[in-house]
Chains A and B, each alone.
Chain A
């Protein structure tokens, strides 16, 4: 039982509980905060997988920007800040069945496919390599993503504009 395994166990437990709380809590703001926990856990997992740059981006973008955006959204739509009884619709049972079924299928497939594959971490992923990769092999997708962001920006403005 290495340290990494312990860390993974802790992170996974926190994430699992938080994720479940995100989709079950009766309080919208709490949901956002649990989401922060999950996202942070994901960043931790990234570190475990030797992707430090990604972990930092995850924290900056997700926790720093997206969650804040969510909080704004909650406020602007005047969602009930406290506990609200009817955040779920009437297909909780269906949802649970579908989700569990999917998890079963996926779990089984993964076990079938990678049941005893060990993960060898030889090298820490260098940010420089990531950057080089982005600007050489993946330069076109990168440009496309930037256009997408711009389009999203413009789109969000157009949609949300009050006129």
Chain B
């Protein structure tokens, strides 16, 4: 097995996730795309860990675990925000959310 194949798969997932983040209007779908991105990172961490030997493989796994934990937190908060937006605007269409316009 080549290291490349894992990394390219991860890169692919990452880019698909990026596409989703950029294109999706529905906030929940955006969050899902973010999960894709996070998972691609996890693959990278684990694959590169293996590449650097056993000890580093463990470290890579630990980091992946942390990422998973953070992802869980992020989804929780993210969905809460989505709910709040929905409650205030009766829509979660992100193209209508432009509070950052100066």
A53 — which chain B residues lie within 8 A by C-beta?
Answer: 61
A12 touching B4 by the CB < 8 A rule? Answer: no
Interface residues of B in 47-92 (CB under 8 A from A): 47, 50-51, 54, 57-62, 64-66, 68-77, 79-84, 86-87, 92
B47 touching A19 by the CB < 8 A rule? Answer: no
Chain A interface size range: 35 or more
B29 touching A125 by the CB < 8 A rule? Answer: no
A149 sits at the interface (CB 8 A):
yes
A115 — which chain B residues lie within 8 A by C-beta?
Answer: 4
B4 touching A111 by the CB < 8 A rule? Answer: yes
B66 — which chain A residues lie within 8 A by C-beta?
Answer: 138, 141-142, 145
Interface residues of B in 1-26 (CB under 8 A from A): 1-9, 11-20, 22-26
A4 sits at the interface (CB 8 A):
yes
Given contacts A38-B36, A95-B19, A106-B11, contact A62 B43 (CB under 8 A): no
A110 touching B76 by the CB < 8 A rule? Answer: no
A62 — which chain B residues lie within 8 A by C-beta?
Answer: 35, 39, 68, 71
Q: CA of A89 to CA of B16 in the docked complex: distance in angstroms?
A: 16
* Closest beta carbon of chain B to A81's beta carbon, Å: 12
B2 touching A117 by the CB < 8 A rule? Answer: yes
Considering only CB atoms, which chain B residue lies closest to A25 in the complex? B29
Q: Which residues of A contact B (CB under 8 A)?
A: 2, 4-5, 8, 12, 15-16, 19-20, 22-23, 28, 31-32, 35, 38-39, 42, 45-46, 48-51, 53-54, 57-58, 61-62, 65-66, 69-70, 72-74, 76-79, 86-92, 94-96, 98-100, 102-103, 106-107, 110-111, 114-119, 121-123, 125, 129-130, 133-134, 137-138, 141-142, 145, 148-149, 151-153, 155-157, 159-160, 162
A-B complex: 5 closest residue pairs judged by Cβ atoms:
A23-B20, A152-B73, A95-B22, A99-B19, A156-B80
Q: Which residues of B contact A (CB under 8 A)?
A: 1-9, 11-20, 22-29, 31-33, 35-36, 39, 42-43, 46-47, 50-51, 54, 57-62, 64-66, 68-77, 79-84, 86-87, 92, 94-95
